[in-house]
Amino acid sequence: MAARNPGIEYDETWIQNVYINLPAVKRRAETLGTRRTVKKQWQAAWLLRAVSCIDLTTLAGDDTPANVSRLCYKARNPIRSDLIKAVGMQDKGKLCLTTGAVCVYPSRIQDCAKALKACNGTKIPIASVATGFPAGQTPLKTRLEEIRQAVEDGAREIDIVINRTMALTGDWKGVYNEVRLMREACGEAHLKTILATGELGSMVNVYKASMVCMMAGADFIKTSTGKEGVNATLPVGLVMVRAIREYYQRTNYKVGFKPAGGIRTAKDACTWLSLMKEELGDDWTKPNLFRFGASSLLGDIERQIFHYVTGRYAAAHELPMA
C-alpha cells in the first residue's frame, strides 16, 4: 500500500500566481458529462466498483440507533445477494462486495460500531463528520476535541470542514495550521478535508484550498458537505483532481478525492469514475483513493444491476429499501 501523505511544510509559492482557465475547465467537464458511456458487462463492472467506493451516509437530525443499524446492514449487503451471485461477486459462498465506509455524526459512531460488529465482524470503516460540521463555526479547541472523541469512539476516518472565513479572506497559512492540527488530532484515522467548494467564491480558491489541505497532510480532499446550495460539480472536481495530480508529481504522495452532494444516479457514478481514470489513473478508481459521499446513489445502482441481470427494471417491491 502506498505511503500515507504526511504533509509538508507550508510553502506560499505553491499557491501564488494561480490562474484557472474557466472556459477550458467547463469544456473538459462537458466531454465527461456527455460523451463518456459504458455498456452491458462493462457498465456493470464499473457500477460494482462504484458501490465499493460509496461512503454510505446518514447525516440527519432525526438519526436513531435503528436507522443507523439499517444503514450498516445495507453497507454490508449493498446489492441483493442473488444479483451479486449472478454477476460473480461471491467467493466460497460469501459476499465480496461492501461499501467503502459508513458515515455518520459523532454521536452515532458507537451505534455503528455495535451494528457492524453484529455483521459477522465486518471491517467496513466508520467515518464521522467532525469540527462543527457543516458550518465549522465553533472554536478550534472544540473542533479538535470533537475529532479526538470521534476517534476514541471508533471512527477510522474523519471528515472535517475547513475554515471558510480564512479561505475567503486569503489567510491560507491559517487554513494550513488548522488542518495540520486536525491531522494530528486524527492520529491513525484518515483525514478527509471538506472544502465546501460552493462557498469558496472562485475556482482559484478551490485550487488553493485543495493544495493547502494536502500540504497540511490531508488523506483525501472532498468537495462539499452536501448541505451547501451547490455541491459536487464536474468543473470543481476537475480543478481538485488536477491539484491532486500536481501534488503527487511534486511529492510522490497520493491523496484521495471524494465528491459529495447531488450524486444520485448510476450515470453520475460512471461519469465521476471516468474523470478519475482519465485524469489520475486506475489507482484513483479504488476505495483507498476515491469515495462518493452519497445516501441515495446506491439505490439507483442496484436498479441498474437488476436490469443487467434480468433484462428488466425492478418493481418497487423487488428491491430492499435502503
Residue of 73, 14, 43 lying closest to 309 (CA atoms): 43
> Three-state SS for 86?
helix
Residue 116 near residue 104, CB atoms below 8 Å: no
CA–CA gap between residue 12 and residue 248 (Å, rounded): 17
Residues 6+ apart with CB under 8 A from 290: 53, 256, 257, 258, 273, 276, 284
Task: Indicate if 258 belongs to the active site.
Answer: yes
CA–CA gap between residue 272 and residue 284 (Å, rounded): 11
Residue of 74, 192, 208, 258 with catalytic role: 258
Element (H, E) at 257: strand 256-258
Q: Where are the alpha helices (DSSP H) in the chain?
A: 22-35, 40-52, 65-76, 81-86, 109-117, 140-153, 164-168, 172-186, 203-215, 234-251, 266-279, 297-310
Task: Indicate if 222 belongs to the active site.
Answer: yes
Cα 200 off chain centre by: 19
151: its cell numbers = 476517534
The torsion region of residue 17 among left (phi > 0), alpha (psi -120 to 50) and beta comes to left
CA–CA gap between residue 143 and residue 185 (Å, rounded): 10
Residue of 74, 192, 222, 254 with catalytic role: 222
Residue 162 near residue 175, CB atoms below 8 Å: yes
> Three-state SS for 120?
coil
**Which DSSP state fits 139?**
-
- Residues annotated as catalytic (active site), given as ranges: 222, 258
